[in-house]
Structure 1
Amino acid sequence: MVTSEYSAHHLQVLEGLEAVRKRPGMYIGSTDSRGLMHCLWEIIDNSVDEALAGHGSTIEIVLHADGSVEVRDRARGIPVDIEPRTGLSGVEVVFTKLHAGGKFGSGSYSASGGLHGVGASVVNALSERLDVEVDRGGKTWAMSFHRGEPGEFAGPTPDSAFTPFEKSSTLRAVGKVAKGVTGTRIRYWADRQIFTRDAAFSLEDLQQRARQTAFLVPGLSITITDERDPEAPLTTEYRFDGGISEFAEFLAPDAAVTDTWRLQGTGTFTETVPVLQASGTMVPTELERSCEVDVAVRWGTGYETTMRSFVNIIATPKGGTHQQGFEAGLMKVIRAQVEQNARRLKVGNDKLDKDDILAGLTVVLTVRVPEPQFEGQTKEVLGTPAVRQIVSTVVSRELAARFASTKRDDKAQTSLLLDKVVAEMKARISARAHKETQRRKNALESSSLPAKLVDCRSNDVADSELFIVEGDSALGTAKLARNSEYQALLPIRGKILNVQKASISDMLSNAECASIIQVIGAGSGRSFDISTARYGKVILMSDADVDGAHIRTLLLTLFFRYMRPLIEEGRVFAAVPPLHRVIVKHPGSKPNETLYTYSEAELHGLLSRLTKAGRTWQEPIQRYKGLGEMDAEQLATTTMDRAGRTLRRVRVQDAEAAASVFELLMGNDVAPRREFLIESSDRLARERIDA
């Protein structure tokens, strides 16, 4: 039992932290990698709050090889003097007391991300060991904790002998620093009794969060060093002086229609909150609050909406009152402008929808509010009601001023924006009319699907499968190999159009792309409706060679750009046909055994095992160059029959990462692709090239 280690001196403190250990999900969401990363965010955000308050401009994060993580800053340092009510040092209060910190009053931080006062103490409670060093007052002060309890370790590792403090805690002075030098260093080892075995720090998530924070705090330098591979340590530094304007440009997935516009303003509101008095009691007090709003907006040629919202640099992925206010202010101004220019834009009686305005919009929305109300410790939704009206007012005022501007660039860009918004509205209305017409047509007569589609008999969408196969030779074999009850086949001629480069009209006029969209039957782009898809699974079945991989990439580009919900719901798969067929000889009259392998490494491993077992095989070993080389029985057994096939599900774990890879590999910009090919050339083995 962990509690048996606790001394009476700290029993009261640890009773609170023990609740964290018993119910960690309440504080960090989960005990897998996401929870592990949330603990790290808590420590990093404390340093970022110092930078926001104007103290310190560098933060260093080190992932050590022993599984620990260290966060260093050059800010004011955690207070080391005695806190009068508890009689403990400021360091111990911060790391052992729940709901304790400098962010409850209004003196230390005007607007911060950590507001509940549980971040550092929760991380401490869920760490096997935590070491903190503070530079302050010309000295370096240190303290160590074991699962939340202060004491001393005999060595540098978490499994070193630990001696808890018995009568009083001691903040050790371990060195001297120059006068005026301040800062904090925190290193901790996550407790494997709490976190799952496979929980690990994600360098990619850490880099993404650091980049995001550097955008949000101009001038802040964040350095990440990954030492987990001692032979190849990796260091990355992020610093952006352009702020959220630069962030919006970075996030934007399409060509620009407008420049990046900054909409900034401030509003005030009053709220009644409990305020801690000197006597230790909480008294409801009416306070006047200030809310700073800073928004970067940019419209592009696409139809995707990219929105990032933040409160005191804490991301709110599920939105909240600030996002509601932004959308309300945006719609009010754009609708008014469209009505004023109705004759030029030929609008008629049609009304703008929110999606028409948001199409192609990239927005970074930030607000700074003292003591914002969040929903839960994970802070994904802002709940402060007054923020909605303040954001709406600022956005309406600043955007209206942009439309009223007499500058030539502003007039040209606002005119283009109105044209785009109205075009989106007309496209939505015509798509809806087309869908209604198609529904009426389908009710009267059977839909005219492409002649080359070999459909299945079943009407059960969940059970049906559409195989998109490469070429007519593979189609012939697949016809004989399929189960015609629930497996449909659609052949395509080689490489389809690269839709990353082509316009929507080019894509729709391309016969192969149009056939795929028509067969799936759920539309494309903004009008895509996954509930009307005709098949439960879409399986891409291409040859196991370079051309096959290219065709699969082109198909995935089409699905990713115009039918993304299919990928997001895990309904797109890649078939995995074998590369080799090995016929193992059996002595006597026993029939030979047929084995399939899916890579060169797997083939060599199989042959090695057979050799050790004294078994022989028929030469030559068949190497499949394409699906057409298999007979129907082989294709069914290895690739199409549910009992024995292998499918790779295509998932979009990170849409931004996927979009950037697609743009790199398939987009118009040649220079980054050339650079990628040159840098990656040493990773390609010559023998893997089919030549």
Structure 2
Amino acid sequence: MTPSSEYTARHLSVLEGLEAVRKRPGMYIGSTDSRGLMHCLWEIIDNSVDEALAGFGHEIAVILHADGSVEVHDDGRGIPVDVEPKTGLSGVEVVFTKLHAGGKFGGGSYTASGGLHGVGASVVNALSSRLDVQVDRGSKTYQMSFRRGEPGRFRDSGKPGPSAPFEPFVDDSVLDVVGKAKRGVTGTRIRYWADAQIFTPDARFSYDELANRARQTSFLVPGLRITVRDERRLAGTPGADGPHEEVFHHDGGISEFVDYLAIDAPVTDVWRLHGAGSFSETVPVLDEHGHSRIAEVERSCEVDVALRWGVGYETTLRTFVNIIATPKGGTHQAGFEAALLKVLRKAVEANARKLKAGNDKLEKDDVLAGMTAVLTVRLAEPQFEGQTKEILGTPAVRQIVAKVVEKELGAKLSSTARGDKNQSSVLLEKVVNEMKSRITARVHKETQRRKTALESSTLPAKLIDCRTDDTARSELFIVEGDSALGTARHARSSEFQALLPIRGKILNVQKASVGDMLSNAECAALIQVMGAGSGRSFDIAAARYGRVILMTDADVDGAHIRTLLLTLFFRYMRPMVEAGRVFAAVPPLHRVEVVNPGSKANEMVYTYSDAELHRVLARLNAEGRKYKEPPQRYKGLGEMDADQLAETTMDPRHRSLRRVTIESAQRAEEIFELLMGSDVAPRKDFIVAGSAQLDREQIDA
């Protein structure tokens, strides 16, 4: 079919409008890769969510079909099927072919919605090679199809698809009645195929993103049931081996959302802050003749916040406007953070003597450390910066959110109820400790520079520093015990290898507060030696060593000490781990002395596991070679002499190191909390579940 035949006179204006979308898709959906593809899906899903938000729907289903199409069902009121008087078109056709058309402009259908600009459905339609919509209303099922924005009918001979013959409507559009619906049953079903002419060949729907968004929405709209089904059988997805389906349904709202997001041990319970405010806004409105005029309208804004603090220092803040995520913040987030800082500053100043806070003032990072919060605001016709709705721009919302948070959080912190009073006290101690940690880290960064052995008087006395000024080449060995330190001191290369002994098992920082960590001699010494601060103020560029190597005994106690050290690095010096600059030394477990005939010196063979020892001994026996019985078993690093330690564990030419990496920060956080956190029950279950795999022979007793 030639391009001219696709442009019928009747739909010329429609296609001209949607053709702008096809020529500049990035202006409407951000990009034409997977991100833009997902944005189109969000536009359709958000329309269904708006129905649920208005109280007219309770279920949404999203299906990723194997042919690349996606289908969205809801049980809302259904798109209007009657004729819209101004255009003479059915409501379905208006929604899917007219830019800036929908039920979210006048405020009569939706008091607060995620859709705002009225371009979502029509943009998706314009960027689809085929879109089918079915509506259940008035005991009938209506259907209309579109190809790249133009209404018509597809002649499907088998499975529906965009390659089926298409007949555009020429004179009048027809909203076909294709079946009967049960009395009282309403809803909308949309299935579309993204246009390969628009989107990049590698653009794919992300199941993980979809599941996360569905879970998030089910928290934000309590009682809404969202089903996500993947029938694509794509490798690397949960549905690789067959159709995969998940159902998301939460009645606890954003309080339950905060519990889900928070993975560290709690300092406070989840606190809920509610409130509302109103403001006047001057906006253009249409009169009965369709003419635009400027008028002042009164708006209301509802604020709902759930927040809690934990023992960690990472901040998780999710903000939403009418359940639409605003990942880049906006006026609501600015008002929330400003009020948070103001209230906590006031509380700390009122208790400065008790908290030993001095004259220093809290900063935003001190307050946000360890906080998990969900902030939602609901208002009619919010102003977003761009169609992608990532930033809220309505100026008045800042002051409303700030007033609500200031009032509600202030009341919480000044409450005389025993539970609230105890939690408030612990929270204030935490934020003051964060402030002290930040100030200490800043002082360290300002005063600590790369020191030579002669200049290291300000560093811990037990540090045995190296001579090089080249940070990238230098290595810090954290050594277990003084006995191993003596051997390591002779085994190291003093040019670039520094030693710091650790006495016994350091503090478990997963359970301890920041103040306890800083007051612990071993932890404080290690942070001071690194010279780059701690927590969110850690500056990896200021780190004094290029590599940190944990050198502990190859036994259970050594593994425990290594885990404690890794917990400290993960919690307070995480950029070192993320950059792959933390290693675990691999000392040998056994030494086999192979006897050589004649005057030739005996050969030393080192093995690193019992299985490797058995393989070596079997090979020597098979070759008829003799070795001294029994092979030496190293109980600790101190049993090696300097030459052996250098050859096996410290000399870069011969040693083996295990690099500590984080594939998933969230998964790592969960593991550390499981193994080292305050909650004993999950750890007990983990130990009991893994006890069957334990080899008693591996335990030193």
- For 2:163, the equivalent position in structure 1 comes to 160
**Separation in structure 1 between the aligned mates of residue 286 and residue 132 of structure 2, nearest angstrom:** 30
Deviation at 1:52, TM superposition (A): 0.8
Native 8 Å contact 2:584 2:660 kept in 1: yes
CA offsets, 1:357-404, max 9 Å, x none? Answer: 223222211110111111112211111000111111111222233344
**Separation in structure 2 between the aligned mates of residue 440 and residue 467 of structure 1, nearest angstrom:** 13
Which of 381, 387, 392 is 1:382 aligned to?
A: 392
Which of 240, 243, 247 is 1:237 aligned to?
A: 247
Deviation at 1:572, TM superposition (A): 5.0
- For 1:95, the equivalent position in structure 2 comes to 96
- For 1:277, the equivalent position in structure 2 comes to 287
**Separation in structure 1 between the aligned mates of residue 684 and residue 167 of structure 2, nearest angstrom:** 59
Further displaced range: 67-76 or 392-401? 392-401
Q: Equivalences for 1:253-652 in 2 at 5 Å?
A: 253-438=263-448, 445-446=455-456, 448=459, 457=468, 459=470, 500=510, 517=527, 520-534=530-544, 557-566=567-576, 570=579
Deviation at 1:259, TM superposition (A): 2.2
When normalised by structure 2's length, the TM-score is 0.76
Native 8 Å contact 1:538 1:571 kept in 2: no
Native 8 Å contact 1:465 1:539 kept in 2: no
Which of 186, 201, 205 is 2:205 aligned to?
A: 201
- For 1:215, the equivalent position in structure 2 comes to 219
- For 1:660, the equivalent position in structure 2 comes to 670
Q: Equivalences for 1:109-148 in 2 at 5 Å?
A: 109-148=110-149
The one-letter code sitting in structure 2 at the alignment partner of 1:41 is: W
**Separation in structure 2 between the aligned mates of residue 197 and residue 456 of structure 1, nearest angstrom:** 55
CA offsets, 1:220-277, max 9 Å, x none? Answer: 1112222234853222222222211222222223322322222111111011111133
The one-letter code sitting in structure 2 at the alignment partner of 1:377 is: Q
- For 1:590, the equivalent position in structure 2 comes to none
SS of match in other structure, 2:129: strand
**Separation in structure 1 between the aligned mates of residue 507 and residue 201 of structure 2, nearest angstrom:** 45
SS of match in other structure, 1:173: strand
When normalised by structure 1's length, the TM-score is 0.77
Deviation at 1:413, TM superposition (A): 2.8
Considering only CA atoms, is the larger Rg found in Structure 1 or Structure 2?
A: 2
CA offsets, 1:587-642, max 9 Å, x none? Answer: xxxxxxxxxxxxxxxxxxxxxxxxxxxxxxxxxxxxxxxx999999x9869999xx
Deviation at 1:322, TM superposition (A): 0.9
Further displaced range: 97-106 or 662-671? 662-671
Q: 1:405 to 1:360 in 2, by over 3 A?
A: same
Deviation at 1:680, TM superposition (A): 11
- For 1:8, the equivalent position in structure 2 comes to 8
Deviation at 1:304, TM superposition (A): 2.5
Native 8 Å contact 1:146 1:162 kept in 2: no
State yes or no: 1:71 paired with 2:68: no
SS of match in other structure, 1:247: helix
Deviation at 1:126, TM superposition (A): 2.2
**Separation in structure 1 between the aligned mates of residue 325 and residue 40 of structure 2, nearest angstrom:** 15
What count of residue pairs does the alignment treat as equivalent? 632
SS of match in other structure, 2:541: helix
SS of match in other structure, 1:288: strand
Native 8 Å contact 1:247 1:364 kept in 2: yes
The one-letter code sitting in structure 1 at the alignment partner of 2:228 is: I
Native 8 Å contact 1:272 1:285 kept in 2: yes
- For 1:620, the equivalent position in structure 2 comes to none
Native 8 Å contact 2:281 2:296 kept in 1: yes
- For 1:180, the equivalent position in structure 2 comes to 184
CA offsets, 1:43-75, max 9 Å, x none? Answer: 111111111111111111122222222111100
**Separation in structure 2 between the aligned mates of residue 18 and residue 490 of structure 1, nearest angstrom:** 68
Native 8 Å contact 1:458 1:485 kept in 2: no
SS of match in other structure, 2:141: strand
Native 8 Å contact 1:111 1:312 kept in 2: yes
Q: 1:325 to 1:410 in 2, by over 3 A?
A: same
SS of match in other structure, 1:241: coil
Gaps of 5+ in 2: 234-238, 587-643
Deviation at 1:140, TM superposition (A): 0.8
Deviation at 1:532, TM superposition (A): 1.4
SS of match in other structure, 2:116: coil
SS of match in other structure, 2:246: strand
Gaps of 5+ in 1: 578-626, 641-645
Deviation at 1:511, TM superposition (A): 9.3
SS of match in other structure, 2:298: strand
The one-letter code sitting in structure 2 at the alignment partner of 1:161 is: A
Native 8 Å contact 2:312 2:370 kept in 1: yes
- For 1:169, the equivalent position in structure 2 comes to 173
Native 8 Å contact 1:79 1:91 kept in 2: yes
Native 8 Å contact 1:523 1:529 kept in 2: yes
- For 1:607, the equivalent position in structure 2 comes to none
**Separation in structure 2 between the aligned mates of residue 129 and residue 678 of structure 1, nearest angstrom:** 55
Further displaced range: 18-27 or 92-101? 18-27
Native 8 Å contact 2:453 2:466 kept in 1: no
Q: 1:300 to 1:511 in 2, by over 3 A?
A: closer
The one-letter code sitting in structure 2 at the alignment partner of 1:213 is: T
SS of match in other structure, 1:273: strand
The one-letter code sitting in structure 2 at the alignment partner of 1:191 is: D
Native 8 Å contact 1:299 1:360 kept in 2: yes
**Separation in structure 1 between the aligned mates of residue 440 and residue 326 of structure 2, nearest angstrom:** 35
Further displaced range: 252-261 or 131-140? 252-261
SS of match in other structure, 1:523: coil
Deviation at 1:670, TM superposition (A): 5.8
Q: 1:246 to 1:11 in 2, by over 3 A?
A: same
Native 8 Å contact 2:137 2:186 kept in 1: yes
State yes or no: 1:105 paired with 2:106: yes
SS of match in other structure, 2:345: helix
Aligned sequence identity (%) = 66
Q: 1:310 to 1:178 in 2, by over 3 A?
A: same
Q: 1:362 to 1:631 in 2, by over 3 A?
A: closer
RMSD after superposition: 4.8
**Separation in structure 2 between the aligned mates of residue 495 and residue 411 of structure 1, nearest angstrom:** 34
Q: 1:555 to 1:379 in 2, by over 3 A?
A: farther
